[in-house]
Structure formats: structure tokens, C-alpha cells
Amino acid sequence: MTDTATPPVPTPPAKERPRLAYHHTPAAEGVTGPTIVFLSGYASDMMGTKAVTLEAWAKSEGRPFLRFDYGGCGQSEGAFEDQTLVDWRDDVLAMLDALVDDDGAILVGSSMGGWLMLLAAKLRPDLVKALVGIAPAPDFTDWGFTTDEKMALLSNGRIERKNPYGPNPTVYTRGFWSSGEANRLMFGEIAFDGPVRLVQGQRDPDVPWHRTARLAELLRSADVQTWLVKDGDHRLSRDSDIALIIRAVEDVIAAL
């Protein structure tokens, strides 16, 4: 009997991601320190008030800053409904790898961007130095959908919700929801040791403030602070809210 070698299983090609639109401001001459990277929320883009205002502040301080659109969002290429949470996580990693130098990054994650910043910090622990969450929403595919909505996603492949921030409905797909469920974090210790500031409105209808308090408990770092805005909503885009977010960024920079 002749032994025959089993042919190796070919490795599937890596998924090609859409080309991403971004604005990158390098550090002013003589300024060192981490690049501040803004991560927007679900179905949002880099032109939001928080991203643009934070960029203007960073420029005034000479600090490097990066904002960008995930695949299928804003000015980036790709179809929105083809994207998953892991796809957008990989977009974050690609931006960090391409545009952040050895001084590392401070990730500022808004809503879903707060989930992505935690996933990116897990995979780039040497690069991510600090985190600022703005109404962070890790694991929202679990707690942010009703049972009926989850069943509709599984059976129909997509659902639409009324969008309180614009005229078009917000679409969620089965692919995004399944990707989120496979990448949940809020079940045990989250291994990050840098400074963290979490800014959360107590009148947020989308992210209950007690979930942000729970996130603070799960983060391994001893330098975690939760800043509650009693009359703050989910967007936290008022001048006073953005001033607090800038203060949070300044605070983690001082702690590094």
C-alpha cells in the first residue's frame, strides 16, 4: 500500500477592504506624543461635530490627530450593508498601522466607536496608550435589540429603525449583528492598563449610564474614571459636552 500525502488546505485570501477616506494632521514641529484617533459611532462619519471640533483643538495644540470613515460610511468606498463589526475593527487597525508612529495612539471612541476602541486596544496593546469613551456601547448587539428584532434579523437578514438624527432609517444587518455577538467583551476582565476616561450622559436613551459604570469595573487599569453628565443625551455634542471630552483627552495625556 502506498501512502499518499494529504494536500495542504489552501489559505483563503484576505478579505480586501474598501479604500478609506481620512484626515490626518501630523504633529507640529517639536511636539511629541500619541496621535489622537477619533472613532465614530454606528452609521456615522468623520464629519460629526465631536470629530471636527476635537481636531481643531488638537491642531491648536500642535498634536497629531486622525479621523476617518469606516468602509461603507461617509466618503469611504464600499456598501454600508456589506460591512460587519469585524470589518470596521480591521479598518481601525489598518489606520493605526499605517498612520500612527512609535508614540502610539489615544483612541477616542463614540458609541459603537467605544466598542471598536476596546477591540483595537486588545489587538494593538503596544500601540494604544489611552482610551476616552463617549457613551461607549460595547456589546450593544446583545442588549440594544429586542428579542423580536433579533428574530427579524435572523429570519429576514436586516431591520430598519427610525433614525432620530436624520431623515433616513438606520439599517442593521444579520452580518453586522452576528459579528457583534461573536466579539462581545463585557463578560470578564478587559485587559487594558493605560488611563481611561468614560464620558456618559445620564439621559442617554441608547446607552444606559449604568452600563458605562460596569465597563469601568471590568477594565483592568487602575486609572479609570467615569464622568457622568446628568442632563447629557447620547450625542454629547453641546459645547459644554465637547469641552468635557477635550478635558478628558487632556487628562489621559497628563497621565501618560
For the chain, give the DSSP string. Answer: ----PPPPPPPPPPPPPPP--EEEEPPPTT--SPEEEEE--TT--TTSHHHHHHHHHHHHHT--EEEEPPTTSTTSSS-GGG--HHHHHHHHHHHHHHH--TT-EEEEEETHHHHHHHHHHHH-TTTEEEEEEES--TTHHHHSS-HHHHHHHHHHSEEEE--TTSSSPEEEEHHHHHHHHTT--TTS-B---S-EEEEEETT-SSS-HHHHHHHHHHB--S-EEEEEETT--SS--SHHHHHHHHHHHHHHHHH-
Q: What is the pLDDT of residue 195?
A: 98
Flag the least confident range among 3-12, 62-71, 128-137.
Answer: 3-12
Q: Is residue 206's pLDDT more than 90?
A: yes
Read off the pLDDT of residues 138-185 as tens digits, 9 standing for 90 and up.
999 999 999 999 999 999 999 999 988 778 899 999 999 999 999 999
Q: Where are the domains of the chain?
A: 22-139+187-255
Per-residue pLDDT band at 2 (split at 50, 70, 90): very low
Q: Which CATH superfamily is domain 22-139+187-255 in?
A: Alpha/Beta hydrolase fold, catalytic domain (3.40.50.1820)
Q: Is residue 3's pLDDT more than 50?
A: no
Q: Is residue 6's pLDDT more than 60?
A: no
Beta bridge partners of 65: 25, 36
Q: Is residue 69's pLDDT more than 50?
A: yes
pTM equals: 0.93
Per-residue pLDDT band at 1 (split at 50, 70, 90): very low
Per-residue pLDDT band at 4 (split at 50, 70, 90): very low
Q: Which residues are catalytic?
A: 111, 204, 234
Calculate what percentage of the chain has a pLDDT beyond 70: 95
